[in-house]
């Protein structure tokens, strides 16, 4: 059984995290350890965070632990950062671990296999620094699941590339 570190930031699709990513990982026989950015933790209803904890058997992290506290998650075999906001992608590329979610990703970059799904809009993707951020992540071995920003999407967001994210993770395990 592999331990998958699921890291999500406040972007469209985070509300689908349990159903579309965590539950399929568990069904594949993996342990999922969920860490959220502080804003993503705020976006998810407390009942949804409790349900994630119930099905994973682990706390959903969004805050750092104290030095005298044990690590709440086991060592991770692979990270999936999905959805990853433009802010999360940029900070990860620059090595800025200013919250618990980014800290675990920054610590794993280059040493733990990682799949990142940047959930950004066209304006973020046009920013002059964006291509450099993606290049930095690719250079560190990150598998980026890219998304056509103009493709039509259903109202419930089901066309987010959850299947491609899972397939990318399967290839790295």
Residue by residue, what is the 3-state secondary structure of 122-142?
HHHHHCCCHHHHHHHHHHCCC
Question: Three-class SS of residue 68?
Answer: coil
Q: Above 90 in pLDDT, residue 57?
A: yes
Average pLDDT over residues 126-136: 97
Domain architecture of the chain: domains with CATH: 3-60+74-172 (3.40.50.1950)
Q: Which residue(s) pair with 31 in the sheet? A: 3
Handedness of CA 20, 22, 76, 3 (dihedral sign): negative
Average pLDDT value for the chain: 93
Res 147: pLDDT: 79
pTM, two decimal places: 0.94
Q: Above 60 in pLDDT, residue 158?
A: no
């Amino acid at each position: 059984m592999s331990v998958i570190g699921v890291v999500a930031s406040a972007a469209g699709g985070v509300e689908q995290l349990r159903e579309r990513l965590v539950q399929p990982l568990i069904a594949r026989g993996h342990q999922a350890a969920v860490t959220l950015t502080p804003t993503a933790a705020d976006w998810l209803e407390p009942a949804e965070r409790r349900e994630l904890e119930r099905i994973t058997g682990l706390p959903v992290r969004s805050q750092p632990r104290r030095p005298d506290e044990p690590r709440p998650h086991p060592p991770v075999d692979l990270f999936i950062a999905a959805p990853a906001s433009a802010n999360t992608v940029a900070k990860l590329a620059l090595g800025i671990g200013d919250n618990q979610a980014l800290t675990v990703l920054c610590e794993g970059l280059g040493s733990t296999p990682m799949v990142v799904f940047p959930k950004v809009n066209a304006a973020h993707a046009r920013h002059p620094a964006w291509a450099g951020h993606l290049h930095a992540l690719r250079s560190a071995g990150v598998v980026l699941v890219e998304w056509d920003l103009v493709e039509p999407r259903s109202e419930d967001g089901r066309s987010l590339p959850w299947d491609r994210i899972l397939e990318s993770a399967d290839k790295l395990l």
